[in-house]
Amino acid sequence: MMELKIKKLNDKAVIPSYGSASAAGADLYSSEGEITFKSGETKLVHTGLAMEIPEGYVGLIYARSGIATKRGLAPANKVGVIDSDYRGEIMVALHNHSDSEAKIDAGERIAQIVIAPYLAVRFTEVNSLDETERGEGGFGSTGTK
């Protein structure tokens, strides 16, 4: 298991935790008091944490299925990206997708973070690309079943 250095920025910060032994995402917690979201509103929620993500890895912030499906609260940008050279506070832009007001409580789980390796690439402009069976078929081009 890889070690990831975390710095608490305030006393209310909670170290991320896994919900089960095989969970890919570790829960992130709000370090603020109760926050109310109007329908359609987005707010930055502080975790009170900074991380030292190793070079060659990225922190990906995803919704927690419970508050996303039951209360409509999910990251506004769908997937947040935390680069390995970022050392500031981890914050989650939560958006209320529901038709009603929603709240999160102090210390509540608000999102999950997955630490994943990535490949850095050099983009090279060319005049043509290798042919494939799919070719230029776009959304839905491979069928519906």
> Any idea where the domains of the chain sit in the sequence?
5-117
Element (H, E) at 70: helix 65-71
pLDDT category of residue 134 using cuts at 50, 70 and 90: confident
Cα gap 46→32, rounded to integer Å? 6
Q: Which residue carries 């839905």 as its tokens? A: 140
pLDDT category of residue 136 using cuts at 50, 70 and 90: confident
Q: Do the bridges between strand 109-117 and strand 89-96 make them parallel or antiparallel, or are there none, so unpaired?
A: unpaired
* CATH number for the domain whose boundaries are 5-117: 2.70.40.10
Q: Would you say residue 21 has pLDDT above 90?
A: yes
Q: Which of 69-73, 81-85, 135-139 is predicted with the least confidence, judged by mean pLDDT?
A: 135-139
Beta-bridged to residue 89, according to DSSP, are 50
- Cβ distance 66 to 18 under 8 Å? no
Q: Would you say residue 126 has pLDDT above 90?
A: yes
pLDDT category of residue 135 using cuts at 50, 70 and 90: confident
pTM listed for this prediction:
0.89
Query: In angstroms, how far is CA 14 from the centroid of its own chain?
Result: 17
